[in-house]
Amino acid sequence: MAYATVENLFSLFGEEEINLLSNRGASQELNREALEAAIAYAASEVDSYLAARYAVPLTDPVPPVVMMVTADIVRYRLTSGDVSEKDAIVARYKTTVAWLRDVASGVVSLPCAGASSGGASDNVEIDAGARDWTCRA
């Protein structure tokens, strides 16, 4: 499941930057196919972290924070040497990965269905049953 759309990328980073990233400056036209492939790869990367605590892919409604981190990963993965603000993109990616690690380790939780809650436990529960200890003589 894609956690972000091309329109989400436009909203977060602007059409001009996404157009530049999608075609690596070779053309003025948006390469939607390249963007959708990058979104799929980024969603897979997000799932690799979330799978430690959640059933993936996440089902709708996906928390907005997952869309944002997916978009940050897309942007980072499509960034090449011709983007002037590369340092900021790299820093944002590192923050995103740190957050995903926190989710995987349980420091941060997602507010979504399928999340582990304090009331539920992944522990095994054993019921030994009852034993009648009356003496038969």
How many domains in the chain? Answer: 1
Query: With bands split at pLDDT 50, 70 and 90, how would you rate the model's confidence at 34?
Result: very high
Neighbours of 43 (CB within 10 A): 24
Share above pLDDT 70 across residues of the chain, in percent, rounded to a whole number: 74
Residue 99 forms part of a structural domain? yes
Q: Which residue has the tokens 């978009």?
A: 71
Is residue 18 within a helix (H) or strand (E), and if so which, with residue range?
Answer: helix 15-23
Distance separating alpha carbons of residues 74 and 47, to the nearest angstrom = 14
Question: pTM for the whole thing?
Answer: 0.76
> Is the pLDDT score of 88 beyond 90?
no
Distance separating alpha carbons of residues 65 and 88, to the nearest angstrom = 19
Residue 83 forms part of a structural domain? yes
Share above pLDDT 90 across residues of the chain, in percent, rounded to a whole number: 53
Distance separating alpha carbons of residues 92 and 75, to the nearest angstrom = 10
Residue 17 forms part of a structural domain? yes
Residue 68 forms part of a structural domain? yes
Residue 69 forms part of a structural domain? yes
Bigger pLDDT: 80 vs 19: 19
Which pLDDT value is given to residue 29? 81
Residue 57 forms part of a structural domain? yes
Residue 119 forms part of a structural domain? no
Domain containing 68: what range?
A: 6-105
Average pLDDT value for residue range 44-67: 94
pLDDT (tens digit per residue) in 69-86: 999 999 999 886 555 568
Token pair in block for residue 107: 């420091």
Residue 22 forms part of a structural domain? yes
Please, are residues 18 and 6 in contact by the beta-carbon 8 Å criterion? yes
Which pLDDT value is given to residue 121? 46
Bigger pLDDT: 67 vs 134: 67
Report the mean per-residue pLDDT for the chain. Answer: 83
Distance separating alpha carbons of residues 109 and 120, to the nearest angstrom = 14
Please, are residues 104 and 49 in contact by the beta-carbon 8 Å criterion? yes
Nearest-5° Cα angle at 88, 87 to 94: 90
